Amino acid sequence: MAKIFECQDSQSYDLIVVGSGNGACAFLHQYLNCSTEGRVLVLEEGENFFETSDITHQRNWAKSYSDGNIFKLHQAQTSDRIPILSGRACTMGGGGSINYTTIFESSKWLAEHLGRDPVYWDAQKAELAKCFRFADPTQSLTDVAKHVKEKLENIGFSISDISQDSIPTYVDGKDRQIHIFPTQFDEFGQRTRSGVSLVNWYLNQRLDFMTQQRVTKLHLEATDKGQRCRAISVFNSIKGKLETYHLGSNTKLLLCAGAATPQLLYEHREKLNNLEIGKHVNDHILLPFGIYVLNSELEVTLKDQYVSLFATTEAFSGEGRDPTICNFDFFSGRLNLLLYFISHLFLAFWLPNWLKLWMTRNPDVFQWLKRATRFLVTASNWLVDSIWRILHFAKLTRPKWNLISAIVKFNIAREGYYEPLSDRLTQDRKYPKPYRIVLRCFEDKPLDSNPDFQVAKDAISKHICLMESLGAKPHPIFQFAIRLLTRMPYDVNQVERYINHYSRYDLLTEQHLSGGCVFGKAIDSGLESPQDTGKVFGSENIYVADLSASPLPRISPQMTAYLIGHHVATQICQDSTSKAQTS
């Protein structure tokens, strides 16, 4: 089968999958390979990956952030009700071209948090990595990537040499690592090696999928085996109407909807006797970290918008604490190419908190403000060019100012949680019941004793020298303008003031929201019965296989999300696999 526009008989499906992100793609790939029978229906809120050029080509990596149909904001706040600019991508295949960094968590970490042992996770990684067919990334580094790598090595960083089929693996207990990750794009910039590439969407006879279908509610009924999902409410964005899909007596429901997964389950916590739903939530807090000017002789390519390596360091924030892993990502290019990316991030810096709160609740306001920011950045760029032309009127060509910047990101020290908001809408709503996501970053006061503050201060202070080696500081006038808007430091003495200001006014996350339905707490780890892996405690037929099933990995969580989907499918298919092998 293929893409369908009408669901004629929802009860005929053996499995209905809500969402088609990273976890869902890896699950579908493994499930359709390991099981021989059963029809599958996938419902995706976003648009069709194959019909949306913004997410299928590398040129549009930064532009993906600006598309309102692809990128949406959470209602995220601190426990003190300070708004956090935190978002999610909404499309088949997960974050589209936004999802870029590729690295495996250590098998030891996976075993501790997801169950099984490190040997099991080594095997899962090896099996999954082969599906992507990545080329060796060290053989295709650009000049900019080589430049960043050299400067990192000059201050004591070394390349991590542990990998699975070219996908690097984080090494426990090792400080100052460089991780060179493979790109998801081919030589023409087309995104051909991502989660969506794992599934044969149009030719698999067992698979149907529908896009622009938002699941808004689960309808549960009590049985002798627990609460059974008997139907789901789905808002069809194409038709503009709410529909009800009934599940068959043997139909399983798999939730792979990211942040929407715990939100769909939250109102049923008491029925399920599962109060762990909505807890243990986290994200990577993100601090922009300097804007510098690259040497004009250094050739910059489109691939360098997101440089294909990143670095990690260990930071200690107090006695008895495990080290926090700080991740440094690097971005470069002409201002006009980074414009969409900058217009998204700058919303955190120039808007007052009251307006950010309003923006997180109103998608139209979010889109309008992004367009306004883009206009302001474009106008500033034009003004700079005009002044340069006046001062250098004898020169016929305009200057090529290539910029390089970095961000530092790390896990928030304390886990957050979901909490319900007042439901002002009717039961015929086109959106799920609203929830606030509380992320407890910079929670302790005074900040001097706060673990997040200590990690941020340590990471930035120690690596300003790295940024200065990557490029030249902008002209003092531009430094003043940058610091006026963002407070980003160009001197060690400015770091503490930057973090203090950031914690009150400029909070950002890396859009890596995890948790809410964690293995062993809200869902079954499957250690006693493999076929129950991912099943929501208290339910008969509801499963989870996305990043909400895991604590936040210390590094980029994309490959962890793939592993969760692959793992759940592997386990629940064990019975059918053994039967097929026996026959």
| pLDDT by residue, tens only, the chain of 583 residues | 578 788 889 999 999 999 999 999 999 999 999 998 899 999 999 888 888 777 787 777 767 766 667 788 899 999 999 999 998 888 888 776 567 889 999 999 999 999 999 999 999 999 999 999 898 998 889 999 999 999 999 999 999 989 999 999 999 999 999 999 998 888 888 888 888 999 999 989 999 999 999 999 999 999 998 999 999 999 999 999 999 999 999 999 999 999 999 999 999 999 999 999 999 999 999 999 888 999 988 988 888 888 999 999 999 876 667 899 999 999 998 877 776 666 777 888 889 999 999 998 888 888 888 888 888 877 877 877 777 777 777 666 666 778 999 999 999 999 999 999 876 544 557 888 889 999 999 987 788 889 999 999 999 999 999 999 999 998 888 888 888 888 999 999 999 999 999 999 999 999 899 999 999 999 999 999 999 999 999 999 999 999 999 999 999 999 999 999 999 999 999 865 444 443 3
Whether residue 398 contacts residue 388, with contact meaning beta carbons closer than 8 Å, is answered with yes
What local confidence, expressed as pLDDT, does residue 434 receive?
87
Nearby residues of 530 by Cβ (< 8 Å), 6 or more positions away: 571, 572, 574, 575
- Sign of the four-CA dihedral 288, 293, 298, 299: positive
| Order of strands, sheet of 402-411, starting from the edge strand that comes earlier in the sequence | 158-159, 177-180, 309-315, 324-334, 402-411, 284-293
Q: Please name which of 163, 195, 158 lies closest in space to residue 181, comparing C-alpha atoms.
A: 163
Where exactly does CATH 3.50.50.60 map onto the chain?
A: 11-53+193-280+514-582
What local confidence, expressed as pLDDT, does residue 496 receive?
94
Percent of residues in the chain assigned helix, strand, coil, to nearest 5:
35, 25, 40
Whether residue 282 contacts residue 514, with contact meaning beta carbons closer than 8 Å, is answered with yes
Q: Could you tell me whether strands 416-420 and 435-438 are parallel, antiparallel, or unpaired per DSSP bridges?
A: antiparallel
- The DSSP letter of residue 338 is S
The alpha helices in 14-142, defined as continuous H runs, are 22-34, 107-114, 118-132
Q: Could you tell me whether strands 15-18 and 252-255 are parallel, antiparallel, or unpaired per DSSP bridges?
A: parallel
Q: Which CATH number fits domain 11-53+193-280+514-582: 3.50.50.60, 3.40.47.10, 3.30.300.30, 3.30.70.360?
A: 3.50.50.60
What local confidence, expressed as pLDDT, does residue 53 receive?
76
Torsion angle in degrees (nearest 10) through CA of 469, 470, 475, 477:
-100
- The DSSP letter of residue 434 is P
What local confidence, expressed as pLDDT, does residue 4 receive?
78
Whether residue 412 contacts residue 551, with contact meaning beta carbons closer than 8 Å, is answered with no
Side-chain-side CA neighbours of residue 212 (13 Å): 15
Q: From CA 485, how far away is CA 579, in angstroms rounded?
A: 63
Q: From CA 369, how far away is CA 170, in angstroms rounded?
A: 38
Could you please report the per-residue DSSP string of 502-542? HHHH--BB-S--B-SS-BTTTB---SS-GGGTTBBTTBSSE
What local confidence, expressed as pLDDT, does residue 187 receive?
80
Whether residue 291 contacts residue 405, with contact meaning beta carbons closer than 8 Å, is answered with yes
Whether residue 69 contacts residue 346, with contact meaning beta carbons closer than 8 Å, is answered with no
What local confidence, expressed as pLDDT, does residue 319 receive?
60
